[in-house]
């Protein structure tokens, strides 16, 4: 089945630094990937839609200069949290949809726990 790999699974960084999170579709190509964030005991909140070869589409209230998204290939999307602050600490999850076999639906990565100290 479709597998989405997310890396790193955990990261701790200092305030003011930037952190990059990778989302890879391992056995399929995905023209579209989605990025979510999830606070403890809360639901997933869609942050942005990552489109291969074009600019990402951000949800209302999500700062595009804060959360940089790059989708340079059909198997890789990256989310960079720039100038991180403690309030950016959260669980970030990506998902992707197989462009050739859409019936596989959306596959989610295992998430990245970001802690900003």
Residues that bind another protein (CB under 8 A): 4, 6, 32, 34, 36, 43-46, 49, 91, 93-95, 97, 102-111, 113
The single residue listed with the structure tokens 């023209």 is: 31
Q: How far apart are CA 91 and CA 26, in angstroms?
A: 21
Contact yes or no for 6/26 (Cβ under 8 A): no
Give whichever of 13 and 91 is closer to another protein, judged by the CB atom.
Answer: 91
Q: Minimum CB separation from another protein for residue 68, in Å?
A: 19
Q: Minimum CB separation from another protein for residue 13, in Å?
A: 18
Give whichever of 29 and 49 is closer to another protein, judged by the CB atom.
Answer: 49
Q: Minimum CB separation from another protein for residue 16, in Å?
A: 26
Q: How far apart are CA 14 and CA 115, in angstroms?
A: 9
Q: Minimum CB separation from another protein for residue 29, in Å?
A: 14
Those residues whose C-beta lies under 8 Å from the C-beta of residue 6, and which sit 6 or more positions away, are 21, 22, 23, 24, 93, 94, 109, 110, 111, 112
Give whichever of 82 and 106 is closer to another protein, judged by the CB atom.
Answer: 106
Q: How far apart are CA 39 and CA 33, in angstroms?
A: 20
């Amino acid at each position: 089945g479709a597998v989405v790999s997310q890396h790193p699974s955990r990261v701790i960084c200092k305030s003011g630094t930037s952190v990059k999170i990778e989302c890879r579709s391992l056995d399929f190509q995905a023209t579209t990937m989605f990025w979510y964030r999830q606070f403890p005991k809360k639901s997933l909140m869609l942050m942005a839609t990552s489109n291969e070869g074009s600019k990402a589409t951000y949800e209302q209230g999500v700062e595009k200069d804060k959360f940089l998204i790059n989708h340079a290939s059909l198997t890789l999307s990256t989310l960079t949290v720039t100038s991180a602050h403690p309030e950016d600490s959260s669980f970030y999850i990506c998902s992707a949809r197989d462009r050739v076999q859409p019936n596989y639906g959306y596959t989610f990565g295992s998430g990245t726990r970001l802690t900003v100290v």
